[in-house]
Amino acid sequence: MIGLLIQIINIAFSVLIWLVIIRCLLSFIPHNPYQPLIRFVYDVTEPIMAPFRRLIPPIGMIDISPIVVVFALELVRRVMIELIWMLLRF
């Protein structure tokens, strides 16, 4: 049961991280932002990325907020799994 919960958390965060990476790659190529798949990528990642973009200004023309988002997602993932293990010890 707990193994399944940890697997779900790992998969969910992996998908989010890949969506952030895909969004970064999309910024280098011309695309139709109204295409459903691309719109999905933007709709899922925008609530996560917007607060980081407001806090972290671009360096020249380079936006480093996606890098920080990936690190933050990984940190949250690890904390969640550690909390689950801590709750199991009690």
**Residue 31 in tokens:** 């695309």
CA angle (74 as vertex; 2, 25 as ends), nearest 5: 125
Is the pTM of the predicted complex or chain greater than 0.85? Answer: yes
- Provide the residue-wise pLDDT of the chain in tens; the chain has 90 residues: 788 999 999 999 999 999 999 999 999 999 999 999 999 999 999 999 999 999 999 999 899 999 999 999 999 999 999 999 999 887
Query: Do 23 and 45 form a contact (C-beta atoms < 8 A)?
Result: yes
CA distance 26 to 55: 22
- Domain limits, the chain: 2-89
Q: How many CB atoms lie within 10 A of CB 44?
A: 16
Residues facing residue 62 across a β-bridge: 59
